[in-house]
Amino acid sequence: MTGVPASAAGGPRTAPVVRQAGLWNIANVLTMLRLVLVPAFVLLLMHDDGTDPAWRAFAWAAFAVAMITDVFDGHLARAYNLVTDFGKIADPIADKAIMGAALICLSVLGDLPWWVTGVILFRELGITLMRFWVIKHGVIPASRGGKIKTLAQGTAVGMYVLLLTGPLATFRWWVMAVAVALTVATGLDYVRQAVVLRRAGLARERALRAEQAERDTAR
């Protein structure tokens, strides 16, 4: 025994132990809450065929809570190293579920044109599938435009959940128009990024194969 730590004496070093975040952390709890809110929101919105202003206000409150938790759970997970496999899967599912449920219910009630619901859902599902398509080449980061789009969608849908009349009803139409425009514009930008990312990834793969072929020939 020399009293000198093994690392200082040149001996083998033990890799630091990285604590894995448990399933029951605040970020995942917020995600679970958002999932639970989806059926509750639907029941509140569709109560009495969506004609009761009080129930629509309760539905708006549930939708608002879901949108707020969407902002905080991802931030908490990244800030406090609470990222888990469950969160990676459940968080986007919860996001799409609450927005999709709201859009479909509003269209069923006749408050929102079906083409609006179709455009938004097609974009959201399409971009999600596209991310998986190019994931082996890299990750498409969330853009500032995408975040603004999410805010616009949440604001517009929230206004449609409430039974608004007069100037507010007209104003919400314009907010939804902006949300749809941002939905399409950011969707096209993500497609462009995916194409560029995939081309770069395929080019790297071809270069690696060519390099490997040269090594094999030189042997």
Is residue 4 situated within a structural domain? no
Q: Do 135 and 157 belong together in one domain?
A: yes
CA–CA gap between residue 99 and residue 95 (Å, rounded)? 6
Residues 121 and 204 in one domain: yes
In contact, 82 and 21? CB cutoff 8 Å: yes
Tell whether 138 and 214 lie within a shared domain.
yes
Q: Which of 64, 84, 111 is the last residue of a domain?
A: 111
**Whether residue 3 has pLDDT greater than 90:** no
| Spatial contact of 49 and 109, defined as CB atoms under 8 Å apart | yes
**Residues 44 and 102 occupy one common structural domain:** yes
**Whether pLDDT at 172 is above 80:** yes
Contact 143, 187 (CB under 8 A): no
Domain end among 65, 84, 111: 111
CA–CA gap between residue 88 and residue 96 (Å, rounded): 13
- Is 138 inside a domain boundary? yes
* Structural domain total, the chain: 2
Residues 101 and 124 in one domain: no
Residue found under tokens 């991802």: 74
Which of these ranges, 15-24, 41-50, 58-67, has the smallest mean pLDDT? Answer: 15-24
Q: Are residues 127 and 212 in the same domain?
A: yes
Return the percent helix, strand and coil in the chain, to nearest 5: 75, 0, 25
Q: Which residue has the higher pLDDT, 180 or 18?
A: 180
User: What domain range is 100 assigned to?
Assistant: 22-111
- Average pLDDT, stretch 37-49? 95
How many Cα neighbours within 13 Å face the side chain of 157? 29
Residues 131 and 105 in one domain: no
Q: What is the CA radius of gyration of the chain?
A: 24
pLDDT, residue 7, reads 46
- Do 40 and 117 reside in the same domain of the chain? no
Distance between CA atoms of 217 and 54, rounded to whole angstroms? 77
Q: What is the pTM of this model?
A: 0.79
pLDDT at 203 over 90: no
55-105 pLDDT, tens digit per residue, is 999 999 999 999 888 777 766 767 667 667 676 777 778 888 999 999 999
Has residue 14 got a pLDDT over 80?
Answer: no
**pLDDT surpasses 70 at 17:** no
As a whole number of angstroms, the distance between CA 175 and CA 159 comes to 9
